Amino acid sequence: MSAPRLVDRDPRIGADELVDAMVPPPMFDGVRFDTYVPSPDEPSQAAAVVACQEFAKRVAAPMAGKSWLRSLFSSGEPVAHDLPGLYLDGGFGVGKTHLLASIWHAVPGPKAYGTFVELTHLVGALGFHDTVARLSGHRLLAIDEFELDDPGDTMLVTRLLSELTAAGVFVTATSNTLPDKLGEGRFAADSFLREIQSLSAKFGVVRVDGPDYRHRGLPDAPDPMTDEELAASAAALPGSTLDDFDELCAHLATLHPSRYGRLVDGVSSVHLRGVHAAPDQDVALRLVAFGDRLYDRAVPVAVSGRPLSELFTEEMLRGGYRKKYLRAVSRLVALSRQSANSVGS
């Protein structure tokens, strides 16, 4: 009996369900500040833990959302420890999402956690004013993978965060790009400089340096399987799926990226036949979002064709989305190792 296919799934998420689902993904259910292990060679990591703990204490304090507003009106301009936002900047694989989820777990509700694309989709599903109404009573909004990839997102998020912080909501975010550099290399950021500066002014920046922990001392991506080995692996593992890579890419184009997580819910392992480099930027960015959702759920990935380390072309890796692609490779190679280890055992 052949394994089921992801391309046969058509996940649906209602508007109310979108709000209820704004919690850390399963992989980060159990993370806390004391489970983050800073590298002794990277002092910024230990400093980041302290900064995040202090921010969480501010958010959890009674009437916390009003304190930075009072500071603004009394002194003319808030200093870093009075700002409503904390922005974790650094390379991929240094534990920024771990720290973001730890902040979320450390503060009482109401609170919301989501990726940048999930937040923009929420606005699309509910409408701007309803989104503000539903989130403005929260203590905290945590945003993972914060990126501004087009002018529309820039305007939307600037306006949304202005409304929410004015209502006393604290915001914390992770990104591979400093807030005043968002959008750089992707669109004409200079045309939206005022909006980008307005957005960055709300965040105190905490730098998290270090090498990618997922690949410290580990080998490169596992060799791809043959098509026959891949099919046998999918058939042998309950809950696995088996898809043709090109068919899956076409299916992803029919779904909003906020539905990719639901697409792989309950899947124990993903098998992709005939993997090759993404043919264009649109496909590549969808694969980034899909890979992030697989990583959130710790779903192993096995492939035939080319290894997952070759998913993006050299030209793509030199472009404005370089950091996104490198993060995706880091995460997907880790998942392919996980699959190889499970097959070996």
Same-domain status, 69 and 133? yes
CATH of the domain at 74: 3.40.50.300
Distance CA 323, CA 321 (A): 6
Asked if residue 246 is part of any domain, the answer here is yes
Q: For residue 80, what are the contacts with CB-CB under 8 A and spacing of at least 6?
A: 204
Same-domain status, 45 and 152? yes
- Going residue by residue through the chain (345 aa), what tens digit of pLDDT does each one get? 678 999 999 988 777 778 888 999 888 989 999 999 998 999 999 999 999 999 999 999 876 655 544 444 444 444 455 788 898 888 777 889 999 999 999 999 999 999 887 888 888 888 999 999 999 999 999 998 877 666 677 778 888 988 999 999 999 988 765 444 544 444 344 444 455 566 677 888 888 888 665 555 444 778 999 999 999 999 999 999 999 999 999 999 999 888 898 899 999 999 999 999 999 999 999 999 999 899 989 999 999 999 999 999 999 988 878 878 888 898 899 899 887 766 554
Asked if residue 23 is part of any domain, the answer here is no
Q: What angle do CA 154, 159, 164 make, to 5 degrees?
A: 130
Same-domain status, 203 and 249? no
Q: What is the pTM of this model?
A: 0.73
Query: Which of 210, 239, 265 is at the close of a domain?
Result: 210
- State the total domains in the chain: 2
Same-domain status, 158 and 265? no
Query: Which of 195, 210, 225 is at the close of a domain?
Result: 210
Same-domain status, 60 and 203? yes
Asked if residue 9 is part of any domain, the answer here is no
Q: Are 96 and 88 in contact (CB under 8 A)?
A: yes
Same-domain status, 203 and 230? no
Asked if residue 153 is part of any domain, the answer here is yes
Asked if residue 7 is part of any domain, the answer here is no
Which domain, by its residues, includes 258?
A: 214-344
Same-domain status, 232 and 164? no
Same-domain status, 35 and 68? yes
Same-domain status, 169 and 203? yes
Q: For residue 249, what are the contacts with CB-CB under 8 A and spacing of at least 6?
A: 278, 283, 286, 287
